[in-house]
Homo-oligomer: A and B are copies of this chain.
């Protein structure tokens, strides 16, 4: 009697190819090297998968998830300067272990601490952002094409332009009733910061770039920060708080404005990236006057964005 656990080599009854087989919600500690500084420590969550192509659809992948975890643990022992390079390494090892696969994908998301200065008092505090790294591999014949994924998710404040105008109208009416002249009112409009609803917003950018290109994650974080009405901070002394409220209210933005602003800044900042770079931009506003959220998205290529902005 032979009772070996070799089920994974047995032909399955139903022969259908699978788009993805993998593991999700895997947490690992990752060390990112930095020149002459302490390494950055990340505690990302990984999603990792390969496909099972139709040409090989009879192969059973029972021990697949186990192999994935092992590969990640080995790849993490290597030294690396970027999270997307670690993901690339994992993709390459996935193809070595899973010869039948012609697609592999690794995605990681992690909190990322930055020391930042408040705008006026210059108090330094730790600020947390989310960073996203990844790699996708496609094998055709013996060619392996790898795309790297780099992105971030940053929280900021957005103030509504429309409601601010509504409030302005009301206040102008009040000023007229108090007897102020049109000339005076223009001066007042120039001196006063009017109320509007504002709220926590989340901006998100994900770029998919060819293997031999590089994007600095801090550039992405800064683009997102600068595309909302104002950036926010952990520690705000009074002068800082006044600065943030003033800045956001003199720079009101809809969700649509935020994603357009991000798109515009991406085109300007990353002129070294090729047209084929995939660009995903999203802004979500946790509307303070509603229970639901407002959002806007752009899913396109850098080439398309460049054409639109000509």
Interface residue ranges, A against B (CB under 8 Å): 1, 3-5, 7-8, 12, 14-29, 41, 43, 49, 52, 54, 57, 60-63, 65-66, 69-70, 73, 76, 111, 113, 123-128, 155, 157, 159, 161-163, 165-172, 174-175, 177-178, 180, 182, 184-188, 190-200, 232-238, 241-242, 244-246, 248-249, 254-257, 259-261, 263-264, 284, 286-300, 305, 308-309
Show 11 residue pairs from A and B whose CB-CB distance is below 8 angstroms, ordered by the A residue. Answer: A5-B162, A7-B165, A14-B260, A14-B309, A17-B298, A22-B296, A28-B128, A57-B308, A66-B237, A162-B238, A234-B291
B113 touching A259, Cβ below 8 Å: no
B125 touching A61, Cβ below 8 Å: no
Q: Which residues of B contact A200 (CB under 8 A)?
A: 199-200, 286-288
B192 touching A174, Cβ below 8 Å: yes
Known: A241-B289, A292-B25, A295-B22. A8 touches B162 (CB 8 A): yes
Which residue in B125, B174, B294 is a CB contact (below 8 Å) of A23?
A: B294
Which residue in B23, B232, B293, B305 is a CB contact (below 8 Å) of A289?
A: B232
Q: Which residues of B contact A43 (CB under 8 A)?
A: 43, 111, 113, 128
| Other contacts beyond A7-B161, A234-B290: 19, CB < 8 A | A14-B260, A16-B305, A22-B294, A23-B294, A23-B295, A43-B113, A60-B256, A61-B256, A62-B161, A65-B292, A69-B125, A69-B234, A73-B124, A128-B291, A159-B195, A198-B288, A199-B199, A200-B288, A234-B291
State how many angstroms separate the Cβ of A286 from the closest Cβ of chain B. Answer: 6
Known: A27-B111, A191-B171. A292 touches B234 (CB 8 A): yes
Task: Report Cα–Cα, A188/B176, bound state, in Å.
Answer: 10
Closest residue of chain B to A260 (Cβ to Cβ) is: B14
A19 touching B298, Cβ below 8 Å: yes
A232 touching B290, Cβ below 8 Å: yes
Q: Which residues of B contact A186 (CB under 8 A)?
A: 1
Task: Report Cα–Cα, A299/B125, bound state, in Å.
Answer: 32
Which residue in B123, B125, B178, B261 is a CB contact (below 8 Å) of A191?
A: B178
Task: Report Cα–Cα, A70/B74, bound state, in Å.
Answer: 40
Closest residue of chain B to A65 (Cβ to Cβ) is: B294
Task: Report Cα–Cα, A60/B27, bound state, in Å.
Answer: 37
Which residue in B49, B159, B166, B292 is a CB contact (below 8 Å) of A26?
A: B292
Task: Report Cα–Cα, A268/B196, bound state, in Å.
Answer: 33
B163 touching A241, Cβ below 8 Å: yes
Which residue in B4, B196, B233, B235 is a CB contact (below 8 Å) of A165?
A: B4
Q: Which residues of B contact A249 (CB under 8 A)?
A: 167, 195
Task: Report Cα–Cα, A260/B195, bound state, in Å.
Answer: 25
B254 touching A62, Cβ below 8 Å: yes
Task: Report Cα–Cα, A1/B3, bound state, in Å.
Answer: 31
B292 touching A5, Cβ below 8 Å: no
Task: Report Cα–Cα, A242/B196, bound state, in Å.
Answer: 9
